[in-house]
Chain A
């Protein structure tokens, strides 16, 4: 875990005071809401349908037990006792009073956390792989670079008023668990001749015009990642469209210029940038790296797991992933209980997970873009007791990557941008497919629901995606198939006319029935869809 030094702390503390000053000016009537809006948006504070929403950054999805406990405490003290984990691995509080916001930021600062750049047209929270540091398939732990980029992007003076928001992901494994190619810039760290560098992808994204990012550079050395990103961002800042907010993301620029022309302009800018000494020295990465070094793993641990309790065995098979260290395992905690709100956790649940992380996971936990939690360093011998405690707290659902593991944005229940309610649909779907045997039979099936075209619920990347739209005042749900946010990233295709809330649940059932009837040995839903194409699915739905 990275720890702040006095520089990091002073910057975050200064931000708290700056925001306190801004809120006081607003509350005293010296700032109008119009004047205040850009200021609060720089700090993750949105005015939603019913209250203010505060979005707290969880850089690259890594947290300590102490930080998690603080999130629970804030939920209890300033919210209605809940936190909502988002697809950007952030945490949102939906019931915040403006006057409390500075105090909340001050509390976060005491545990080295903040809400900086969780909104606004700037570089947002850097995301990464939830298995970083513990995955067997990674080249290196991507988080030291993610932390380096967190610092570089914090209050970057040139890139604070970009045409639109800007999201960066850093991964270092073959399996893409972070939807890297659906980011404005995705970095995949690789090793070439013993040297670390990054494949750079630019112009991915969801929203109204979903795109999978093309590769724009096959290898940027670790010493030049910062100037290369500065070049990418400068070209975007100068030439990205500002006339239409729906065409302002970098994906549109890359698409309109063409990949080759964008690359050429970046290379030209990079040739200049690399002469300016912008990259932190190697000593800085060397300073950061030990914070993410392997914790003190115990040696000679047993690999055995007592599977005599069948419910536990089911959970182990679904929620536990292989750890690089013998005797250890990665535990995925589902925040998708039957009929629940995806990503929501009560203050008590947050605190329980904090306790489990402290006691059983070397004081560390992770948040995933699929709105679940991870205990990254668990001894296999402790799995049973952890499962029991999770089960008591309603957190032992065994549905990772199954149809019940639904991603959903907050939707019209909370969000002022939404056209439709995502949560009730997620709840209905979850109920319809609640049977554990049926879910297991269907296998890996990623369902993602967005309540509007902004696609916070990643519907384009769902094996099955649902987009809620408003049709003449009535909620209508469009179904899409075949998307993926993983290493085989793809944008889903719309099946045809939309449905009512119940209608889309029925349609999804027809789609899954066809899959079960048509699948070949070893095929996931996505594989069958790719083999057969849209036609038979369309016939099953509308025929």
Chain B
């Protein structure tokens, strides 16, 4: 069973993540945890000193964390972006596409199911922040937009 899943090279960040409020109120922390409903954009001035952002999913159906992740990556955040909470195997692909590169689910995931989920879809329709080339770019490799 998989309790922690990472797609990053090297050690996972170990520092305990602090709340957004305490993070923006002090200067020495490098790890922060975003709760659903908190504004990821509050972190944008501090991206350089962050090494870990945890995004909590209180319930699998609460999709705010997907926007939070994508906003951080769109703003150029390069550090670890970790999904925690009610994270299910069937959500890994969408989370990866929104920029998450590590996962600590409340309930451990089945290794084989993770493997199958991650390899199932060879193609995607949207351009996001994961660097994957969307189907429209593959169809039009000559296009300057691709």
Contacts and interface: CB of A to CB of B under 8 A. Distances in A.
Nearest to A18: B120
Nearest to A161: B63
A278 B95 CA distance: 18
A39 B90 contact: yes
Nearest to B130: A157
A151 B64 contact: no
Interface in B1-28: none
A526 to B, nearest CB: 39
Contact of A10 (B64, B90, B123): B123
A158 B67 contact: yes
A283 interface: yes
Interface stretch (A234-242, A365-373, A384-392, A492-500): A234-242
B126 A157 contact: yes
Contact of B143 (A22, A151, A154, A283): A283
B1 to A, nearest CB: 13
Interface string A462-475: 00000000000000
Nearest to B145: A281
Contacts of B62: 161, 242
A238 B68 CA distance: 8
Interface in B93-116: 93-95, 97-98, 116
Contacts of A242: 36, 62, 64
A158 B120 contact: no
State the main secondary structure of chain B at its contact with A.
loop
Contacts of B117: 18
Contacts of A17: 120
Interface in B59-102: 60-64, 66-67, 70, 74, 88, 90-91, 93-95, 97-98
Interface in A267-300: 272, 276-281, 283-284, 287
Given A14-B120, A157-B126, A238 B64 contact: yes
Nearest to B110: A30
B66 A281 contact: no
Interface residues of B, number: 41
A5 B62 CA distance: 34
Interface in B128-146: 128, 134-136, 138-140, 142-146
B145 A279 contact: yes
B73 to A, nearest CB: 11
B97 to A, nearest CB: 4
Contacts of B49: none
Given A11-B125, A277-B127, A281-B143, A151 B135 contact: yes
Contact of A276 (B60, B61, B66, B74): B74
A38 interface: yes
Contacts of A157: 66, 93-95, 97-98, 126, 128
Q: Which of A38, A158, A277, A281 has the most CB of B within 10 A?
A: A158
Contacts of A155: 93-94, 121, 124-125
B116 A158 contact: no
Interface in A161-188: 161-163
Contact of A284 (B66, B67, B74, B136): B136
Contact of B125 (A151, A160, A161): A151
Given A11-B123, A11-B125, A39-B90, A158 B139 contact: no
Given A242-B62, A287-B139, A278 B127 contact: yes
B40 to A, nearest CB: 9
Contacts of A152: 125-126
Given A161-B60, A161-B63, A237-B64, A156 B120 contact: no
A158 B70 contact: yes
Nearest to B135: A7
A334 interface: no
B138 A7 contact: yes
Contact of A237 (B67, B88, B125, B146): B67
Contacts of A38: 60-61, 88, 90
Contacts of A287: 139-140
Interface string A1-41: 00001011011001001100110000000000000001100
Contacts of B126: 152, 156-157, 278
B63 A237 contact: yes
A121 interface: yes
A159 interface: yes
A242 B98 CA distance: 21
A14 B122 contact: yes
Contact of A21 (B66, B97, B116, B146): B116
A446 B126 CA distance: 39
B63 A162 contact: yes
Nearest to A237: B67
B127 A276 contact: yes
A284 B139 contact: yes
Contacts of A162: 63
Most buried by A among B91, B95, B136, B138: B136
12 contacts: A5-B139, A22-B90, A38-B90, A152-B126, A157-B126, A160-B63, A161-B61, A237-B63, A237-B66, A277-B127, A280-B134, A284-B140
Interface of A: 5, 7-8, 10-11, 14, 17-18, 21-22, 38-39, 121, 151-152, 154-163, 234, 237-238, 242, 272, 276-281, 283-284, 287
Give 9 nearest A-B pairs by CB, closest first.
Answer: A161-B63, A157-B97, A157-B94, A281-B145, A280-B136, A281-B143, A283-B140, A7-B135, A284-B136
